[in-house]
Structure 1
Amino acid sequence: MAVDTPEVAESQPPRLIRETFPVGPLRCNCSVLGDPDTLEAIVIDPGGDVQRILAVLAKHNLRLTGIVVTHAHLDHISGAASLRALTGAPVLYHQADLELVALMDQQAAWMGVPTPEVKAPDESIGTATELRVGRSTLRVLHTPGHTPGSICLYAPDHDLLLAGDTLFQGSVGRTDLWGGDTSTLLRSIQSELLHLPEGTLVIPGHGNTTSIGLEREHNIYLRNL
């Protein structure tokens, strides 16, 4: 029976558990990413339904080590403080969105929901940041435009992009809300996302998945980039 040498084993791409599901009244796409060997995990965009998130972590016996928020609109961040209180995992998002946190009452009134408890991040993250989930690396891409602190997470070993509300199937993030700017958003997509491999799976903040290649070819908002 053949036995892998340590060098061969190390060259194998890391394994990754991923579950993505809609949470909250606006059905934000929340993702749980976990390493099946170390059982470390992060949650991206816990916009509500915290008990469902905890159930997914428990199903895979995962230990939460980080809570990442792609931007500080209420539908993406409203469950973060509760999840932190229950797990002890730190909350990470870009400090440029603290101005949106200060407007949480206005956000809640506009969406017609109670104002959630939202706190400053335990750590601010930007383009220079890399996150680890066991053996997998996630590169943080600062993509302002939808909000000043919007980020995406790119996992090169898995051809995976968690795009928040920056890029959607056939569309881009709206810019008529707090902190939005259309020209900044399009520059972010051009500089940070469109150079990624065309087969990269894109998980947007809401709705269906897509790929970088499909958006390059068919997204009408990106035709002049």
Structure 2
Amino acid sequence: MSAGNVRIDHVVTSGTFSLDGGTWDVDNNVWIIGDDSECVVIDPAHNPEKIREAVADRTVKAILLTHGHDDHISSAGAFRDLVNAPIHLHQEDWMLWKTVFPHADPDAAIADGDEFTVAGATLKAIHTPGHSPGSVSLHLASKDTLFSGDTLFQGGPGATGRSYSDFPTIIESIRTKLLSLPEETVVRTGHGDSTTIGDEKPHLDEWIARGH
């Protein structure tokens, strides 16, 4: 099977994000990577039925969570029930998972360097802490694509003003692990518009100066 068969489908879902006593309305990007027979789903947020419709009759090999904030995980259990696929989340974000699902664990832990194969292509996990301790990005090299979760957005790093987040850590993750990727790499984010490594790389010093 050729990795050239792989396509990336995109679903936007709407809901809320809650942490540290606040709640905000958010739109989340859900990414489906695969071919006509199988796929993996990244961050099935808010609306499991809508995402299930986008999956159609494909086999879902894995549910990959970029981090443990509730807007990204609160519908993951219901989506798992719909598609009968294992949930993967980095161990360092399981404490966030437990705030939503206190009586159940994810099915597996994602570790830095883990590879997930779908439709002949490989997604490689890159541990990119900062937005949360267990944040990961997923690199689909065959499509020059990075799924960055909430680590890197168009215009800068993800938020670090809440519990379990740290600005110097997210800057180090982006500088050493993401900006070293080819500049043509498309960055498909957890919220908002996509960008590229080349578009974001020149602004690192500005982000550091801003300090957020």
1:67 to 58, 63, 70: 63
* Greater share of strand: 2
1:129 to 107, 114, 133: 114
Which of 135, 154, 158 in structure 1 is aligned with 2:139?
154
Superimposed CA distance per residue, residues 136-192 of structure 1 (whole angstroms, 9 cap, x where no aligned partner): 000000000000000000011000000000000012111112210111111111111
2 CA distance for matches of 1:188 and 1:119? 29
**Runs of 4 or more above 4 Å deviation:** none
Written as runs of structure 1 = structure 2, the 5 A alignment for 1:1-225 is: 13-25=3-15, 26-36=26-36, 39-58=37-56, 61-104=57-100, 119-218=104-203, 220-221=206-207
- Aligned counterparts of 2:5 and 2:207: Cα–Cα separation in 1: 34
Give secondary structure in 2 for the equivalent of 1:149: coil
Determine helix, strand or coil for the equivalent of 1:48: coil
Match of 1:27, SS?
A: strand
Identity of aligned residues (%): 37
Aligned length: 199
Report if the CA contact (8 A) 2:73-2:97 is conserved.
Answer: no
**Is there any run of 5+ residues in structure 1 with no aligned partner, and where?**
1-9, 105-115
State the shift of 1:118 in Å: 8.1
TM-score normalised to the size of structure 1? Answer: 0.83
Indicate how the Cα distance of structure 1 residues 17 and 186 shifts in structure 2: closer, same or farther if over 3 A, else same: same
Using the size of structure 2 for normalisation, the TM-score is 0.87
Using the alignment, how far apart are the partners of 2:176 and 2:168 within structure 1? 12
Q: CA RMSD in A?
A: 2.0
How far is the alpha carbon of 1:218 from its aligned partner?
A: 4.0
1:79-127 deviation line (CA, Å, top 9, x unaligned)? 11001112210000101001212334xxxxxxxxxxx788421010121
**1: CA distance, partners of 2:137 / 2:103:** 20
